[in-house]
Structure 1
């Protein structure tokens, strides 16, 4: 199932019960998130969502992607939507 959020997009595989991340903001990437990984990311961002400086995600361990406070909240909403697909 294709999922297009405000910050991320990808494909959820119901048989494998995992989300294949394809893009973050306008950057293309390839990564697979299992439920526990998505939950950990969600919990971390939720605890730090009010930080004025925002957050930085790293793609391929080399490319930093800065998220301001609003984008962090949009990413949380995207992750919240994806969480509903996990079994």
Structure 2
């Protein structure tokens, strides 16, 4: 199942119960997130939601991607939609 959000693009693999993250903002990546990994990211971002400086993500263990507070909020909204796909 393809997912195109405001910040995240990817595909949910229902058979393996995993989300394949393909893009964050305009940056391409290929990261497979199982339910526990996905929930860890969600919980971290959600618990730091009020930080005015936003967040910095690491893609492919080498590229830093800055998310403004507004982008972090959009990222969390995208994650909220994807969470419903997991069993």
Q: TM-score, normalised by structure 2?
A: 0.98
Indicate the residue corresponding to 1:40 in structure 2: 40
Partners of 1:60 and 1:85 lie apart in 2 by: 24
Structure 2: stretches of 5+ with no match in the other structure: none
Q: Deviations along 1:38-69, whole A, 9 cap, x unmatched?
A: 11100000010110110000111111000010
Match of 1:10 in 2: 10
Where does the alignment leave 5 or more consecutive residues of structure 1 unmatched? none
Q: Distance in 2 between matches of 1:3 and 1:47?
A: 24
The residue number in structure 1 matching 2:22 is: 22
The count of corresponding residues between Structure 1 and Structure 2 is 87
Give the corresponding residue for 1:71.
71
TM-score, normalising length: structure 1: 0.98
